[in-house]
Amino acid sequence: MEHKTLLIVVLVVAVIAAATVLIARGPDQETARAAEVSTAVPQAEASAATSVLSQGQAAPVVATLQSTQAQTPSALSSPTSVVPTRRVIATYFHNTVRCVTCRSIERIAKETIESTFAAELASGKLVWRALNMQEKENEHYAIDYSLVSPSLVLAEMDGEREVRFKVLTDTWKLAHKEAQFVSYVQTETRAFLEGL
């Protein structure tokens, strides 16, 4: 009987984990069904999990179940957990050691995008980020985009697939001409957003 209870608990954890993954992918019929399962199954199996825990067995599985139960409702109710399928990611790639101009380019680009495209940022249609391209997990970007120096890159995404990208090479030329720099970033970003 104890092995059956443990098996039920393990299955519940697997269902919840699968539901969480589906929820993160966006609203569709599968997600709706997974959400129903992830909220109904833990309640039905809670007493079985508690009895296994009280007998001193399978504590890691039950702990995982309890932590998953605690996270699932917030994932379901969070409106920001749904990312638009098509979006533009504006990334400033920099090195570990940075000069004043590099920091200035990042600051002005970020301020320009945040002030000009606040609605697009809020909806998730546009994403801003800054990444150190010398960190191991980011090194591939220098190759992917043929970056020889810190650069601002716009990338149109369809889900996890990159549709197109553009390296804004004039940012260094315009770094000390702020009004032209701002106009350049606005124009290029707007063009990418219109392509969605």
Give residue 39's identity as a one-letter amino acid code. T
Structural domains present in the chain: 2-81 (no CATH), 86-194 (3.40.30.10)
* Residue-level pLDDT at 68: 37
* Residue-level pLDDT at 38: 39
Q: pTM of this prediction?
A: 0.59
pLDDT average, residue stretch 10-30: 50
pLDDT average, residue stretch 14-33: 47
pLDDT over 70, % of the chain: 58
* Residue-level pLDDT at 31: 39
Please write the tens of the pLDDT for every residue from 163-179: 999 999 999 999 999 99
Buried-exposed string 115-127: b where 16+ CB fall within 10 A, e elsewhere: ebbeebbeeebbb
Please write the tens of the pLDDT for every residue from 27-61: 444 434 444 433 333 443 334 333 333 344 433 43
Average pLDDT, the chain: 74
Buried-exposed string 143-153: b where 16+ CB fall within 10 A, e elsewhere: eebebeebbbb
